[in-house]
Chains A and B, each alone.
Chain A
C-alpha cells in the first residue's frame, strides 16, 4: 500500500483558497504536501491554466480536489499525468460538453434556487443578505457575514466553461455529498457522483462543508490517497 503525498485543492465560485485552511491543517499534520490553487474564477481556461501550473511543479502524483465550481476545473485538468485521484466536495462533476451553467439550468423540482444576483459587467455575486442561509448555514453568523462581504465575483465565462474530456472517466474519483447544501441540491450531487462512479461519503453540512467540517473532507482525501 502506497500513499500519494501531494494534495492540490481547487476552490469554487464566490470564495478564494483561504476556505481550505482547516483541511490544509489537518492534512499537513499527517505529512501531506498541500498546495492551494488561487484560481481567479473569471474563465474556465484561466482556472485550468492556474491549476496546471501547480500540477506541473509537483515532483510526483497528487490527489486533485475541487469544491463547488472547482469540480468543473478538476474535471477538465484532471487527466494531467500528475493526477492520481479526484475528490469532489459538494462539487460539479460535468460530463462532456457540460458546464456549471448547464448543470444548474434545470434544477430538480422543489430545490431552493441559489440567491445569485443578475450579472453585472460579466460577473455574478450572491445576495449578501441571503448568503448565510444559502451558502454557509452551519457556520456562525459572523463568519458567514465575513464570507459574504469578502466574496469573489464569479465570471460568466467560468460559469459557461464546458468540459471537453471529463477526467472522472479516466481517474478514480471520490465524492463528499453535503446533505444540507442549498447551492447545489444534494440529489444533483448524488446523481453526478453516481454517474462518475465515485466512492461517496455524505456529511450533514452546508455548501461550505469544506470550511465547517474540514475533518470529514480531510478523511476522504486521505482515503483517496491510499492505493
Chain B
C-alpha cells in the first residue's frame, strides 16, 4: 500500500497560487479586497477556515480555473470543519465585534456611564438593552463589551440565553455554563440552582468582571445570574423590559439615525457605493427603517447579486411596502428585506432555507442541514454558503449555522405557504428519525460497555470516530436530539425512545449536570411501560433514581424510584437492576441518616453483584458499605470493609477492571486512613493518608485530595507535628484554589494560620 501523503493545507495552496500569479500579498489584497493582514494570517495557517465569500473573492482575483477554485473552496470548508471539532465551546467567550460596526455613540456613552457609576452595595451595575428584533441589540452589546474590556481585568463573559426560542436556557444551565467558564469542573458542579448561584457569587466576589447576558427570556432566568457585590457589571439584552428586575438601568435601543444607517449600508456595499450613488443608498437606508438587520440583508443582497442597482431595489421595496402598509412597521421592513434575498436564491437553496426552519434545535451543522433538505452534504455546503453570503443564516466559525429569530419565522412562513402539509410532516419524521439514530447508535453507544465503538451504523448517518467526537456531537446537538425525542414521544415511537434513553446510560454520567436527564429517562420509562417490558422499565427508573440522588440531591424522590425499580425488576428477574436499585437506595438512606437500612441495602446489593461476578460494582458497594458503617460509629467494622476492598483492588486476578482499580485504590486507602484515625491509631493513619493523597494527585482527584489533606492535617496537629500540619492545610488550600473554589481555599488558609 502506498502511504497517503499529507494533504496540502489551505495555507500552502493559497501561497502557491499567489506565487504562480506573481502577486505580492499587497497586490493580492488590492485585487481581492481582502486585507493583507488577513491574507498573511491565512498563508501562515493562523486562519485555516476563512469564510466562503472571502475564498471566492481570492479565487476571482487569482483567476483560478474551475478545479483549482473548487479545491480552494473545499480546503477552506475543511478548515472551518476542523475548527468545529477542536475549538473549545461553552466557555462563554465574547464573540468578535463586527468590523463595520457603525454609529451608536450615545448608546456606547450610556454603557460607559453605567459601568463607571458607583453601584450601591449589594446591587451590581446592571444595564438592560431592550427593543424589538432586528435593531442590533446583540451586536451593540458585543461592541460595548469590547470597548469596556480594559475596565474588566478579571474577564468578560458572554452567554446567549436564547430568550425567544421555545426552550430558553434555564437558569441552572446558564449558571453551569458560567461556572464552567470560571474553571469549575463538572464533577464539582453543585446540583441545584441556589448552590450554583452561591458558588457563582463567591467566585465573582471582589472580581472586576463584565457578564453579557444576551437575549434574556425572563426575570427568573436572569436573577440568579446577577453576581451582586460592587465590582461586577452586567449587560443584558432582551426584547422584554423585564420589569420585575430591581436595580437595573434600562435603555431602549432605537433604530439607527438615517445618516448612520446610510453609512453602514455604504460600508457593506463597498466599491459599489460609487456606482449606486449616495442618493439611492440613502433612500434604501430609509426604507430599511434604520434597522441594522434589514440593512445588512439588503447590503449583502446588493453585493452578492450585482444584477440589480440600489435604485431598482428602492423601487421594489417601496412598492412592496405600499402593498402591505397596514401590516406593521419594523417587522415588515425586515420581511421585505428577507424577501428580496429569498427570491434571488436558486430553487434548491430556497427549498433548503425553508426546510431548515424544521430543525428542532437552536443551530445545526451541514450534515443535519443535508438531512433536512434531502440533499447531499456537498449540495448542502453550497447552499449554506450562499445563505450565509446573503445574510440569511449566521455562520459560527465553528461550522455550525443558525437563524436570526426573525429569519427563522420568515422561513417557517415560506414553508407553510410553499410546501404541502404531507411533505412537511414527512420531513419532520425524517429529521427526527435521523437525529434519534445519530444520538443512539453513533453517539450515545460509544459510552456503553456493551457496544463501545459502534459497529455498522446506518449508511445515512455521520460517522463519529472517537468518544470525544461522540461526546461533542451529543453536547452541541442536545436540543436537536432532545427535540427529536419529544417528537418521537408525541408520535408514539416507543422503541426508538427507549433505545435512545438506554444509550445515554453511561454518557449521562459524563455530563451529569445537564438539565435534561430527568426528561430523557422519564420518556424512556414511559416508553418501556407502554412496551410492557418491566426489566427495561426498571433500568430507566434506576436512571431516574440516579438523577435525583446525584445531580439533584433529592433523596426522598430517589427512594420512591428505587422502590418502583425493585418491584419491577423482581417481577422480571432482572437481578442487576435489583442490585443497582438497592445501591441507589443505600446512598439516599445513608444521607438521610437511616444507617441501619442503608447498611442492609448496600449488603444486599453487594451480595447480588458478587454472585453475578460483577466485581466493579461489587467494589463500589463495599466502599459504600464501609462509609455507612463509619457514619454509624462502627469504626472497626468499617476498617475491615475498606481493607477487604483494598485487598481486592490490589489483586490483579480479582476481576476488577484495571482502570477502575486505579481510581478506586486511593479512595479506599484514604478511607482506611480515616478509620485508623478514628480508632486512635494516628501514626498508621498519617502514613496511610500521606500515601493516599499522593495517589490522588497522580490520578487527578483534586477535591477528594484536598479533603484527605485536611484530615491528615488535623491528625498531624493532634500528634503535635504542627509544622507538617500547617503544610498540609496550605497544600489543601492550593488544591482547592486550583479548581477555583476560593471559599474552601480561604477556609484552609485560615486553618493553616490558626494551627499553633
Contacts and interface: CB of A to CB of B under 8 A. Distances in A.
Interface string B131-150: 11000000000000000000
Contacts of B329: 22, 25-26, 215
Contacts of B101: none
Contacts of A202: 110, 249-252
Interface in B122-164: 130-132
Contacts of B252: 176, 201-203, 213, 215-216, 219-220
Contacts of A220: 241, 252
A124 B252 CA distance: 32
Interface string A15-29: 000000010011001
Interface string B99-117: 0000000110010000000
A160 B255 CA distance: 36
A179 B253 CA distance: 12
Interface in A200-227: 200-205, 212-213, 215-216, 219-220, 223
Contacts of B131: 215-216, 219
B250 A212 contact: no
Contacts of A25: 329
B243 interface: yes
A138 B257 contact: yes
A101 to B, nearest CB: 29
Contact of A179 (B110, B132, B328): B110
A140 B131 CA distance: 22
Interface in A97-124: none
B254 interface: yes
Given A204-B254, A213-B252, A216-B131, A223 B243 contact: yes
Contacts of B130: 201, 219
A180 interface: yes
B: contact size bracket? 20 to 34
Interface in A8-50: 22, 25-26, 29
A203 B254 contact: yes
A203 B253 CA distance: 7
A216 B254 CA distance: 7
B439 to A, nearest CB: 38
A23 B106 CA distance: 23
Interface string B317-333: 00000000000111000
Contacts of A200: 249-250
A97 to B, nearest CB: 31
Contacts of A179: 106, 110
Nearest to B289: A215
Nearest to A29: B328
Given A140-B258, A215-B330, A204 B132 contact: no
A146 interface: no
A220 B131 CA distance: 10
Contacts of B258: 140
A205 B250 contact: no
Contact of B132 (A199, A203, A215): A215
Interface in B229-243: 241, 243
Contacts of A22: 329
A26 B332 CA distance: 13
B243 A180 contact: no
B241 A205 contact: no
Nearest to B249: A202
A179 B255 CA distance: 15
A145 to B, nearest CB: 16
A223 B106 CA distance: 25
A223 B241 contact: yes
Nearest to A203: B252
Interface string B717-736: 00000000000000000000
B231 to A, nearest CB: 23
Contact of B254 (A26, A140, A215, A223): A215
A213 B249 contact: no
Nearest to A218: B132
B330 to A, nearest CB: 7
Contact of B251 (A29, A204, A212, A215): A204
A25 B330 CA distance: 12
Nearest to A174: B243
Contacts of A199: 243
A216 B505 CA distance: 50
A101 B251 CA distance: 29
Contacts of B106: 179-180, 204
A166 to B, nearest CB: 22
15 contacts: A29-B328, A180-B106, A201-B130, A201-B252, A204-B110, A204-B253, A204-B254, A213-B254, A213-B255, A215-B131, A215-B329, A216-B131, A216-B252, A216-B254, A220-B252
Interface of B: 106-107, 110, 130-132, 241, 243, 249-255, 257-258, 328-330
Closest 6 pairs (CB-CB, A-B)? A216-B252, A203-B252, A201-B250, A204-B106, A213-B254, A223-B241
